A and B are shown apart, each in its own frame.
Chain A
Amino acid sequence: MKVLAIAFKNLRRKKIRSSLTIGGVAVAVAVLVSLFGFDAGYQRGLDNDIDKLGYHLLVTAKGCPYEAATLMLKGGGGLRYMEEDIYRKIIADPRIDKITPQLVSSVYNQEGAEGRGAFSLYMGIEKSYIELKPWSKFKSGGWFSGSDVDEAIMGYEAAEVEQRSAGDKIFVAGINKVLTVTGIFERTGTQDDGILFIPLATAQRIFELPNKLTGIGIKLKDIRTIAAFEEDLFNVPGIQVVSLAQVRGTILNLVSSARAMASSVALIAIFIAVIGVTNTILMSVFERTREIGVMKALGASSVDIFKVIWTETILICVFGGAAGVLLAVLGSNLVEHIIRQALPYAPAGRLVFIKPIFLVVSFISTVVMGLVAGTYPALRASLMKPIEAIRSGE
């Protein structure tokens, strides 16, 4: 028989109360782990998305920077257009390694998303687009047969969802056009997977936007020239330049409110759990006043009593921590789903990325939390005077 056994047996005495307290701790830990996981997953996903953009800078029509950021990553949003002339001027700059013009348009499809209606994204591109993204490989088929033809290349997911293969014809509902699928890209893990690509000139024609672009992607020969390059473009009227670092910052700003919210929820959950543990143990100490007095009469020192009570708290937190860690791992899909619904922009890939270190850190913090939560009740118990404690119930 050890302190551990005494403490454990006592927790089993009030099973419901102990379970509820352990449950409270578990929820707090699960929230904490999920929050860590979300933070890591989101940043990783975002970095991955940005890496896979292939370009350092995106030149867009002047407008809201949030729109631009969304456009850069998602290819959608409320769109503004710039003149194709700007592209022709910039292209000659010797600092540019690769450059690609693009025209994005979205078409509302009433039949989309299982009849609920959805936007399909079309992006007009030129061959330079895949030069900027060397990982974009064809799963089947190939490039368009000309520069202005009614043809499309589908992103992996877009083809998957619509069950298309190369050679099929697709109907663009909003503008009554039929396009022939010439190729399907392999999965890239980015937003490109959901896009339908058409030749730039075709896009300008069918969406009735002659000589217009929504963006120009630019990769520089030397990333260190980016500041000077941006500065030069700053003087060109009607456009703005968005760099990778800015996009990353902007997106992280967008989610920072969600993160702050989640952090405060986690903090509150932990706070409530700590109070819950303290309350439970304190209650159990008061209920056992006479028992504690008897233990002292039997030779237990204050330290012995402190250890027994402290061990009970730690046990609650160890069980709660373990359950919470398990809950977070098992529930990560659900959390992922909820967060995706709530966020304005979510990068591709897993959003909640639970690293083993998060589990370890959360578990250890829970035990530390137990030490803190248990100190007051343990102190109260250890300072009880044997006579008063034993005679308290008489």
Chain B
Amino acid sequence: MKTCVIKTEKLTKVYQLPAEQIQAVRDIDLEINAGDFIAIMGPSGSGKTTLLDSLGCLGKVTSGSLKVMGKEVSQAHERTLVSMRREFISFVFQDFLLIPTLTAAENVELPLYFARKPYNREKTIEVLKKVGLGHRVNHLPKELSGGEKQRVAIARALATSPKILFADEPTGNLDTKSSQQIFDLFRKLNKDDGLTLVVTTHNPALGALAGRIIYLKDGKIVSREESSLYA
């Protein structure tokens, strides 16, 4: 039996702007099991990123229930969210968001440092090798190509051995070839290592890799489908 890593009930997130309220996501019921590869798709402004941020414990939700690794975190204090992020969760962003002053290796070690977990350069290099960047250990982000930067970001996300990896449009800024490398990497991480992946994307090819695709429109889930390719 698969372990449930994320479970939401009527998850709703409202942004309060000066003039209006925006219901970014509404009444989301979702269950994600360990080892799932889920793609969240939908038009721009449909709430994909908000849903990803909420599931990833980046902020409080407005209402509904959100359980991550069995813990109710929908109204949790920031301190709890920090420890959830340290323990179980990792992020990859569309524009990589590496720290420009730190080398590839230092970027990878950063989450370990914040999580007060031990790190050493050998292990860091291993992780970088895993994403195919064993030769870029001491390079600064500005010395890397877009695809390489994103692979450093993935290595950074893997450093803490998370349970769930969230990726927000991970190939949105990459060319086809680099995107393909990221796809392959994700597939490998999911298949071989059993890492749970939750990815937002506009890219149907990436969506097709996922075991399950959730379509959002105006903050609501409009359809769910099991990917045929995945099987």
Contacts and interface: CB of A to CB of B under 8 A. Distances in A.
B97 A386 contact: no
A299 B100 contact: no
A52 interface: no
Contacts of A9: 101-102
Interface in B44-65: 49, 53, 56, 58-59
B184 interface: no
Interface in A276-318: 290-291, 294-302, 304
Nearest to A304: B114
A380 to B, nearest CB: 16
B177 interface: no
Interface residues of A, number: 25
**Among A5, A385, A390, which residue has the most Cβ atoms of chain B within 10 A?**
A390
Contacts of B97: 290-291, 294, 390
A251 to B, nearest CB: 55
Interface in A103-133: none
Interface string A352-392: 00000000000000000000000000000000011100110
Nearest to A9: B101
B53 A1 contact: no
A12 interface: yes
B114 A1 contact: no
Nearest to B96: A294
Contacts of B59: 385-387
Q: Size class of B's contact patch? A: 20 to 34
Contacts of B101: 6, 9-10, 12-13
Interface string B76-109: 0011001001100011010001011110001001
Contacts of A297: 56, 58, 85, 91
A299 B114 contact: yes
B156 interface: yes
A299 B83 CA distance: 7
A6 B113 CA distance: 11
A301 B58 contact: no
B203 to A, nearest CB: 18
B114 A298 contact: yes
Given A386-B58, A387-B59, A295 B110 contact: yes
A302 B78 CA distance: 9
Contacts of A390: 58, 93, 97
A299 B102 contact: no
Given A9-B101, A294-B93, A387-B53, A1 B85 contact: no
B160 interface: yes
A291 B110 CA distance: 12
Contacts of A304: 114
B91 A298 contact: yes
B91 A301 contact: no
B85 to A, nearest CB: 5
Contacts of B111: 298-299
B14 interface: no
Interface in A1-60: 1-2, 5-6, 9-10, 12-13
A391 B47 CA distance: 13
B75 to A, nearest CB: 15
Contacts of B86: 299
B115 interface: yes
**Among B59, B85, B160, which residue has the most Cβ atoms of chain A within 10 A?**
B85
A354 B135 CA distance: 54
A383 to B, nearest CB: 10
Contacts of B79: 301
B110 A1 contact: yes
A299 B160 contact: yes
B11 to A, nearest CB: 15
A302 to B, nearest CB: 7
Contacts of A10: 101
Given A299-B82, A300-B114, A294 B109 contact: no
Given A291-B100, A296-B82, 13 more contacts: A1-B109, A2-B113, A5-B106, A13-B101, A295-B110, A295-B114, A296-B85, A297-B56, A298-B111, A300-B114, A301-B114, A387-B59, A391-B49
Those 5 A-B pairs whose CB atoms lie nearest each other, nearest first? A9-B101, A299-B86, A299-B114, A298-B111, A300-B114
Interface of A: 1-2, 5-6, 9-10, 12-13, 290-291, 294-302, 304, 385-387, 390-391
14 contacts: A1-B102, A1-B109, A1-B110, A2-B113, A6-B102, A9-B101, A13-B100, A13-B101, A295-B110, A298-B90, A298-B114, A298-B156, A299-B160, A386-B58
Interface of B: 49, 53, 56, 58-59, 78-79, 82, 85-86, 90-91, 93, 97, 99-102, 106, 109-111, 113-115, 156, 160
